[in-house]
Amino acid sequence: MLYYIIHPLVDGLSILRLFEYISFRAAGAAVTALLISFLIGPIIIDWLIKFQISETIKETGPASHKKKSGTPTMGGLIILTSVIIPSLLWCRLDYINIKLILIATLWMGCVGFLDDYLKIIKKMPLGLIARYKIIGQISLGLFIGIILTTIEYNFPIGSSLQTVISIPFIANGFLDIGWLYIPLVIIVITGTSNAVNLTDGLDGLATGLVAISTLTFAGIAYITGRVDFSNYLNILYIPNSGELFIYCSALTGSCIGFLWFNAYPAKIFMGDTGSLAIGSALGTLAVLLKKEILLIIIGGVFVIESISVILQIVYYKYTKKKCGVGKRLFKMAPLHHHFELLGWNENHVVVRFWIIGVMLALLSLTTFKIQ
C-alpha cells in the first residue's frame, strides 16, 4: 500500500526511492510487525483474561504443565494482526504470490479461530472436529494448486515450469511432476499446518522454530527473485518472488514479537488460531518458491515431531494386536513431551530444539552451494 502511495512521488523527492528497494521494505515490514506485536500484545492478553479465554490443560499431559492452566490462549490473533498489516503496508499487492500467501494465512487462521472458539467459548472439548480441519487444509491446498497451474504465475501458461519442483543437491535439478503437482501442494500445506500444530506444545517452541524457518525462506525468496544470484547458485529463477522476502520478514518479526509474550513462562498461547495459520503459511511459502522437498530439511524439527506421533500410534496398535497390550515407543508423543518426561527442563527442550532448527536451516542453505 505504501509503495503505491509513495511511488508517484519518487521523481519529486529522490529519497523516496528507498521504498522501491525490496530490502528496505522488508526491513520496514519486520520492524512494523515487531511494533504491532508489542503494542497489541498486552491489550489482547488483558482482553482474553477479562473474558476468561484460557487454556485447559489435559490430565494426560506432563504433570509440570498443570500450572499452565488458565493461561490465555488464542494469541494467534497477535500473530495474524502483526503479519497481515505489515504485509498490506509494505508488499506490492498486485502480485499473485502475495495474494496467495495472505489468503493461506487468513484461511487457516479462520479455521484455527473457529476451533479455539468452539473449545474455549462454547466448551466443546474436541473443538472443531478433526475431519473439518482436514477439509479446510485440503481445500486450501486444492485452491492454491489449481491457481498455480491454471493462471500465469510467473511462468507462461502451459509451461512445464508450472508443475515443476526443485531437487536439492543437484545443479539445475528440476522435475516436472505434471498432474501430481496439485496433490503434492495439498500434502505439503496440510502436512506443514498439522506439523506446526503438533509442535506447539511448549512455551515458545513452535514460535521460535517458525521464525527460524521463515527467516531461511526469506533468504531463499531474495536469491530466487534475482537473476544474478539464481544463475550463480544454479537454482530456478522465479520472477517477483522478492515480494515474498517482504512477507517472510513480516512473519519473522511477528513471531519474534509474539515470542516476547510466549517465551517461558508463557503469558499467552497462540492456540490453533496461530499454529494452523503460520503452519499453512510455511507450507505455502515452500510451494510458491518451489522448495517443497527442501522444506523437509528447513522444517526438520516439525517433520520429526510429526513422525514421532505416527510411530507412537502405529507401534501402540501393532503391539496391542500382537500382544494384547498396547505399548508405547516413546514416553509420550509428540517428541518434545518424551524428553520432558525423561527429566529435561522445558526451557532446555525448547532451546535445544531451536538449536537443531538453526542447524537444519544452515544445512538447507548449503544445498545451494553444493549445486
Determine the pLDDT at residue 55.
Answer: 77
- 361 contacts: CB under 8 Å, gap ≥ 6: 212, 213, 215, 216, 298
Among 90, 352, 342, 332, smallest CA distance to 209 is for: 352
* Residue located via cell numbers 525462506: 217
Cell of 13: 523527492
* Residue located via cell numbers 508463557: 266
What secondary structure letter does DSSP report for 151? Answer: S
- 336 contacts: CB under 8 Å, gap ≥ 6: 199, 201, 202, 205, 305, 349, 350, 353
Angle between helix 96-116 and 130-150 (nearest 10): 170
Among 79, 86, 81, smallest CA distance to 2 is for: 86
| Residues linked to residue 166 through DSSP beta bridges, in sequence order | 174
Distance of CA 240 to the CA centre of its chain: 21
Q: Residue 331, SS3? A: coil
- 177 contacts: CB under 8 Å, gap ≥ 6: 163, 164, 165, 184
| Residues linked to residue 54 through DSSP beta bridges, in sequence order | 72
pTM as predicted: 0.94
Phi and psi dihedrals of 164, rounded to 5? -95, 150
Query: Which amino acid is residue 91, in one-letter code?
Result: C
If the chain, 371 residues long, is cut into consecutive pieces of 10 residues, what is the mean pLDDT of each piece? 67 70 94 97 95 76 77 95 96 92 97 94 86 95 94 65 84 84 97 96 96 97 91 85 95 97 95 96 96 96 96 93 88 94 94 97 84 62
Determine the pLDDT at residue 353.
Answer: 98
